Chains A and B, each alone.
Chain A
């Protein structure tokens, strides 16, 4: 069966520091991968999605970037965090024509 992992689970970082969040999927090949952000009490906003290694599409202009160095690995990064980057970050995967399955999420607080 397929599983999706995210780490770290929680993170507190100062403004201006770098960020690296990792997401890995097991049990499937060539999945579509997604990064979402959820502000407190709000719905999810799609940040990036990827249909293959090295293929990244950005949905909103922002302080973040994403990379997919391996088939089942998706990384969310920032060179300098802003206060507005605080939120709950969720990674998801899907196969063609099927629903998306989400990871446990990373709660990021920028101080």
Chain B
């Protein structure tokens, strides 16, 4: 079974500063994928970034980067130059890479990020 833990219920950051949202995971799979999604108050889940377990380099997508430390089973999201529009709930998720569970995402409990002007 897979498990995602997000230990920060809420985070605050000043506009234009960087912020790190923590995510640790537990799995017995050798191959898996890690995701971060953003959920604004409207409710829609927005895909941000993906990291494969065998990817040697950390994933980056614009202002988002994923700090992947496989030995520590952590996949923290780093948002650089925070903007007011970044205020939202952020979810870390993982899925196995194959087998009958392929495609099924397991989500963490989420972190509410508030960006102050």
Please list the residues of chain A having a beta carbon within 8 angstroms of any beta carbon in chain B: 32, 34, 41-46, 49, 51, 59, 88, 90, 92, 94, 96, 99-105, 107
Please list the residues of chain B having a beta carbon within 8 angstroms of any beta carbon in chain A: 4, 35, 37, 42-47, 50, 91, 93, 103-110
Report which residue of B4, B44, B105, B108 has the largest number of chain A beta carbons within 10 angstroms of its beta carbon.
B105
Q: How far is the CB of A27 from chain B (nearest CB, A)?
A: 16
Q: B44 contacts A105, CB within 8 Å?
A: yes
Q: B45 contacts A42, CB within 8 Å?
A: no
Q: Which of B35, B44, B91 contacts A43 (CB 8 A)?
A: B91
Q: How far is the CB of B83 from chain A (nearest CB, A)?
A: 22
Task: Across the interface, name the chain A residue whose C-beta is closest to B48.
Answer: A99
Q: Which of B42, B46, B103 contacts A94 (CB 8 A)?
A: B103
Q: A88 contacts B107, CB within 8 Å?
A: no
Complex Cα distance, B45 from A88, in Å, reads 12
Complex Cα distance, B47 from A102, in Å, reads 8
Q: How far is the CB of A108 from chain B (nearest CB, A)?
A: 12
Complex Cα distance, B104 from A46, in Å, reads 8
Q: A99 contacts B107, CB within 8 Å?
A: no
Q: Contacts A43-B91, A49-B103, A94-B103; is A104 near B44 (CB within 8 Å)?
A: yes
B109 neighbours in A (Cβ, 8 Å): 42-43
Complex Cα distance, B106 from A43, in Å, reads 9
Q: How far is the CB of A91 from chain B (nearest CB, A)?
A: 10
Q: How far is the CB of A17 from chain B (nearest CB, A)?
A: 23
Q: A105 contacts B43, CB within 8 Å?
A: yes
Q: A104 contacts B103, CB within 8 Å?
A: no
Complex Cα distance, B103 from A90, in Å, reads 16
